[in-house]
Structure 1
Amino acid sequence: MNEQTESVREAGFTDHVLVCTNARESEYAACAEGDADAVADAVRSWLRERDVFWSRVYVAETGCLGLCSAEGAAVAVHPRGRWFTEVTPAEVPDLMVDVFGPDATDLGRTADELPAQSG
């Protein structure tokens, strides 16, 4: 095992956006049914437009985050500890502005450093 925390920080990465794109054949809903691939694409596009995608912010498509819904994707933003459910592609710009600011300049803050969120 090789811990890479310092090299990641030195490279300038500050935040990680996780988008559930889980699909399953089951009676239970999964984010893939809620257009999760388009949500992930919208997140990447928003970050690219602000020149922080893969320079400051990682984006990862994940399996189940435990908040699956057929109404949209589950999204988690770390180290902020922010969790969202039923996110649609159309809602991504507002979500990203809420989390990172309009120009994606509010990066690298932990949940303890942020004002309390109303939810």
Structure 2
Amino acid sequence: MRRRTADVAERGFSDHVLVCTNARDSEYACCADARGAAVYDAVTSWLRDRGVFWSRVHVAETSCLGLCSAEGTAVAIHPRGRWYSDVTPEEVPDLLEGEFGPEATELGDGRGDEVPADE
């Protein structure tokens, strides 16, 4: 196992957006059926338009985040510790603008761009 915190910080990474796209064959709601892929696409487009996608902000499709709903997708933003459910593609711009600012200049976890060094 290798700790890579310093490597990631050196590249300028500051935030991670997790978008559930989990599908399951069940009677229960899942994000895949609640337009999870479209939410993922909306997140990446918004970040790409501001020049921070995969430079400062990483995005990952995830399996279940435990906030299942037929009304929309689950999204988590770290290291902020923010969790959302029922997110639709149309709501992504407002959500990300609220988290990162209109031009995605408010990045990091609220402590500035500090990332703890590896031990």
TM-score, normalization by structure 2: 0.91
| Counterpart residue number, 1:19 | 19
Question: Matched residues in 2 for 1:60 and 1:108: separation?
Answer: 17
RMSD of aligned alpha carbons:
1.2
Question: Matched residues in 2 for 1:13 and 1:41: separation?
Answer: 20
Determine helix, strand or coil for the equivalent of 1:91. helix
| Counterpart residue number, 1:76 | 76
In terms of fraction of residues, the more helix-rich structure is 1
Question: Matched residues in 1 for 2:30 and 2:2: separation?
Answer: 33
**Unmatched runs of 5 consecutive residues or more in structure 2:** 113-119
Question: Matched residues in 1 for 2:26 and 2:11: separation?
Answer: 41
- Is the Cα–Cα contact under 8 Å of residues 33 and 71 in structure 1 kept in the other structure? no
TM-score, normalization by structure 1: 0.91
- Is the Cα–Cα contact under 8 Å of residues 44 and 59 in structure 1 kept in the other structure? yes
Question: Matched residues in 2 for 1:69 and 1:32: separation?
Answer: 10
| Counterpart residue number, 1:117 | none
Q: Which of structure 1's runs of 4+ aligned residues deviate more than 4 A? A: none
| Counterpart residue number, 1:30 | 30
Q: What is the one-letter code of the residue matched to 1:96?
A: L
Determine whether 1:8 maps to 2:28.
Answer: no
Q: What is the one-letter code of the residue matched to 1:92?
A: V
Displacement of 1:109 in angstroms is: 1.9
Percent pairwise identity: 67
Displacement of 1:71 in angstroms is: 1.2
Q: Deviations over 1:51-96 (max 9, x none)?
A: 0000000000000000011211100000000100010000000000
Determine helix, strand or coil for the equivalent of 1:74. strand
| Counterpart residue number, 1:105 | 105
- Is the Cα–Cα contact under 8 Å of residues 35 and 72 in structure 1 kept in the other structure? yes
Question: Matched residues in 2 for 1:88 and 1:72: separation?
Answer: 5
| Counterpart residue number, 1:63 | 63
Question: Matched residues in 2 for 1:51 and 1:30: separation?
Answer: 31
